[in-house]
Amino acid sequence: MRTVLLVLHLAVFSFALLQSLINPVLPALQEELDTTQNLIAWVMTAFLLSASVCTPVVGRLGDRYGKDRVLVVSLIALAAGSAISAAAPDISFMLVGRVVQGVGGGVLPLTFGIIRDELPPEKTPGAIGVAAALAAVGGGVGVVVAGPLTDAFGIRSLFWIPAALIAVAAAAARAAIPPSSSRNPNPVSWLATTLMAGWLVALLVPLSQASRWGWTSPAVIAPFLAAATLATWWVVVEKRSDRPLVDMRMMRITAVWTTNLVSLLFGVSLFAVMAFLPVFMQAPPEAGYGFNASVTQAGLLLLPMTVTMFFAGLASARLVRRFGPRNVLITASALNVIAVAALAVEHDRRWHVTLALALMGVSLGIAFSTMSNVIVSAVRPDQTGVANGVTANVRTIGGSVGVAVMSGILGAHTPTGGLPTETGYTYGFAVLGIAGLAALIIASLIPAPKPAT
């Protein structure tokens, strides 16, 4: 069993690494590919879009055909996409590779499902906590190591090294993970899949581009209307289907919908901070903020968040057993609000930022691990993959919202040809704090576990 867990943790960490590894080096990648700033932004957007669409679908395929088989396929797609991006001669091939990588978004829900299938109930929360912690930590590690890897091996190593790591994980998964013992016999509804893909793309594309196109432009409003229409149609189809992609009855479970909302709001903070804080740190002090840090130095400033996130994730299962998931998530949400508020009002010294990030790491590590366990305990074993896929998916959607809103605020406070003003960052962090307050309120609605009888 230890071998299975080791393989699963390697798979989760490898996928999480790719979520943020490219963020700090986008300007250098833009220069190498000889492309525009608008197009290089799609290196992140394409990955997020693909992962958003594929995560719940892959989770459902795992529930239907076997989580062990689908996990191997997801890892192969992740490695293949990394290799395509690594060898890409131009931006178009790079984007193709990133879209293929997004298929690997199913790694996380499949991992949680396999853990539930293979481990006894008393060990499941701890194992899921470790996997969720690694998923969160991988994003932080990606930002930390991007600079040193680029300096030592070149920018393409940010794709080749993960590709090799993931190929090892795929081979190990094929050899070590036993066949799934829990399956959902219903076939996949491809109409529901198409509708879900349509409304997610229609929602996330304008969210990611609104700061450039303008929030009131037809190019933004029209897709939002299309997203609302397709999402409504999708819900109707799912409610009428005897083989839904996402069981709407499952989504009505209080523990499920409240946890998903908290996940979405935490995603707002995590992705926005990961995307914009390295740029903040690299700005020269003449801008009124920033530390003139290199890519490597900016990554090191994020290291405390990565460390505290990991250890907090490990401690989450014990905290949940003692205080209950609702109290733990309320505390994590409160810590997140304090951390983001600290970034908004105190960011003049490196230790100010480092301390706030360390506190945010504690919050995120506890929250992500706890949310995963809440979902696993609230649904049937054959729903584990798709349920956790939805939770990971809404976190990605929240991240897209956070990045879009932060980008819009900074864009409105950026003089022509200059850097964003300090006021822009202050307002942006304040908005993230408001999202954190909303998460705090919703976390209080998560039902307390029933006492043992």
User: Which tokens sit at 270?
Assistant: 């995590």
According to the model, what pLDDT value does residue 449 have?
A: 65
Rounded distance between C-alpha atoms, residue 306 and residue 23, angstroms: 16
User: What architecture does CATH give domain 2-177+245-443?
Assistant: Up-down Bundle (1.20)
Rounded distance between C-alpha atoms, residue 394 and residue 266, angstroms: 10
C-alpha distance across the termini of the chain, in Å: 31
Residue 422 has pLDDT above 50, yes or no: yes
Q: How confident is the model at residue 87 (pLDDT cuts 50, 70, 90)?
A: very high
Distances in whole angstroms, Cα of residue 281 to Cα of each of 235, 295, 358, 361, 391: 43, 9, 16, 18, 31
Rounded distance between C-alpha atoms, residue 162 and residue 158, angstroms: 7
pLDDT tens per residue, range 145-204: 888 898 899 999 999 998 998 999 999 999 999 887 767 677 777 888 889 889 988 987
Quick one: which H or E segment has residue 346?
none
- More confident site: 433 or 21: 433
Encode 92-131 in three state secondary structure: HHHHHHHHHHHHHHHHHHHHHHHHHHHCCCCCHHHHHHHH
Contact in structure between 113 and 308 (CB atoms under 8 Å): no
Kindly report which listed range (5-9, 158-162, 231-235, 273-277) carries the lowest average pLDDT score. Answer: 273-277
According to the model, what pLDDT value does residue 453 have?
A: 38
CA dihedral 416, 422, 424, 426 (to 10 degrees): 180
What's the helix, strand, coil split of the chain in %, to 5?
80, 0, 20
Greatest mean pLDDT range, 107-116, 235-244, 287-296, 324-333: 324-333
Helix (H, G, I), strand (E, B) or coil at 278: helix
Rounded distance between C-alpha atoms, residue 266 and residue 366, angstroms: 11
Contact in structure between 393 and 56 (CB atoms under 8 Å): yes
CA angle, residues 177, 170, 245, in degrees to nearest 5: 75
Residue 431 has pLDDT above 80, yes or no: yes
Residues in the chain: 453
Contact in structure between 116 and 124 (CB atoms under 8 Å): yes
Write out the E strands in 205-334. Answer: none
pLDDT tens per residue, range 95-139: 999 999 988 878 888 888 888 888 888 788 778 778 877 877 777
Helix (H, G, I), strand (E, B) or coil at 267: helix
Tell which residue, 436, 441, 444, 443, has the closest CA to residue 342.
Answer: 436
Helix (H, G, I), strand (E, B) or coil at 220: helix
Q: How confident is the model at residue 233 (pLDDT cuts 50, 70, 90)?
A: very high
The CATH 1.20.1250.20 domain(s) of the chain lie at 2-177+245-443
Rounded distance between C-alpha atoms, residue 166 and residue 179, angstroms: 20
